[in-house]
Amino acid sequence: MYQFSYLKAQSISEAVTALSSNPESKIIAGGMTLIPTMKQRLASPEQLIDIRHLEELKHIKIESNNILIGSISSHFEVSTSDIVNEHMPSLAKLAEGIGDPHVRYMGTIGGAISNNDPTADYPAACLGLGATISTSKREVKAEDFFLNLFETSLEEDEIVTQISFPVIKNSCYMKFPNPASRYAMAGVFVSKSDTEIRVAVTGAGEAGVFRWKEMEDALSKDWSVTTAESVKLSSEGVMSDIHGNSDYRANLVNVMAIRAVEKLINEH
């Protein structure tokens, strides 16, 4: 490791001021991605601004049929939250399936979405449920937040403070995890509310998480497993790497989507 300074921020505003005053500084939350990245010299911030202990960012509550999750809530806290388990078990299950116990205790929801790894799970829930992301500056719809691989609409001096998920009980996440890391080889989040059906895909898109419109349109016309089986994701634009080529991944997405719809139809 090389030299850097460390600031234990006492408030969101102190963290924002520190971020704005030095473009070479970075927020650290769980450190699950940032620390390994620094060890590999892929990032070399001059200053780490620690927000993990800020009480104002640590909550899970329900208000006006939205689950509000403070950005430093760990995956473990989300997966074991009574509120999340009661109102949106799909989200609890998603959090429970992230990485390993160490990653779930340390990793945070805010860090996960800010990092926007193309194989991360939470981006699929955000798009699949139509979440709103609150930052130190504004509120952003999930559609406008995730831009590309490891790229979000966050500005340099902006901090994610809270994620608001509309409660849609009729929702399900199916993931085929990479056996080594548990990141998604393909993950599909399906939700069916009174007004719309959403299908969000992670782990597969060359530009990261995306909404699978063709599947959404087909399921909106006919909500059935047969329909889910009939729509095939084209392998064009699907990632290909040492873990699997694009045809393989596209097929995994199809299978995960069918499983999610099947589960929802059987349960509701």
- The smaller minimum CB distance to ligand FAD, of residues 129 and 218, is found at 129
3 state DSSP class of 249: helix
- Does 99 contact ligand FAD by CB under 6 A? yes
Q: What is the largest CA-CA distance in the chain?
A: 58
Nearest to 261 by CA among 229, 221, 217: 229
Give the per-residue contact string, 214-253, with ligand FAD (x = CB under 6 A; - = no).
----------------------------------------
Name, in order, each residue with C-beta under 8 angstroms of 53's C-beta and a sequence gap of 6 or more.
8
Whichever of 29 and 131 has its CB closer to ligand FAD, that residue is 29
- Closest residue to ligand FAD using C-beta atoms: 111
Query: Least distance from C-beta 92 to ligand FAD, angstroms?
Result: 14
Contact criterion met (CB below 8 Å) for 161 and 134: yes
Binders in 75-94 for ligand FAD, by CB under 6 A? 75
Task: Kindly state the smallest distance separating residue 195's Cβ from ligand FAD, in Å.
Answer: 28
Instruction: Return contacts of 151-155, CB within 8 angstroms, 24+ apart.
Output: 151/116, 151/208, 152/113, 152/114, 152/116, 154/114
Q: How far apart are CA 173 and CA 188, in angstroms?
A: 6
Identify the H or E element spanning 38: helix 34-39
Three-class SS of residue 19? helix
Closer to ligand FAD at the Cβ: 110 or 205?
Answer: 110
Minimum distance from CB of 121 to ligand FAD (Å)?
A: 4
Interface with ligand FAD: number of residues (CB under 6 A): 31
Site string for ligand FAD, 169-188 (x = CB under 6 A): ------------xxx-----
d(CA 32, CA 163): 19
Region 116-155 residues binding ligand FAD, contact defined as CB under 6 A: 120-122, 154
Q: DSSP letters of 40-97?
A: TTS---SEEEE-TT-GGG--EEEETTEEEEETT-BHHHHHH-HHHHHH-HHHHHHHHT
Per CB under 6 A, does 110 bind ligand FAD? yes
13 vs 230, which CB is nearer to ligand FAD? 13
> Which CB atom, from 103 or from 131, has the smaller least distance to ligand FAD?
103
**Which of 26, 87, 192, 259 forms a contact with ligand FAD (CB under 6 A)?**
26
Among the listed ranges 4-12, 114-122, 188-196, 245-253, the one in contact with ligand FAD (CB under 6 A) is: 114-122
The contact set with ligand FAD (CB under 6 A) reads 26-34, 71, 75, 98-99, 103, 106-108, 110-112, 114-115, 120-122, 154, 159-160, 181-183
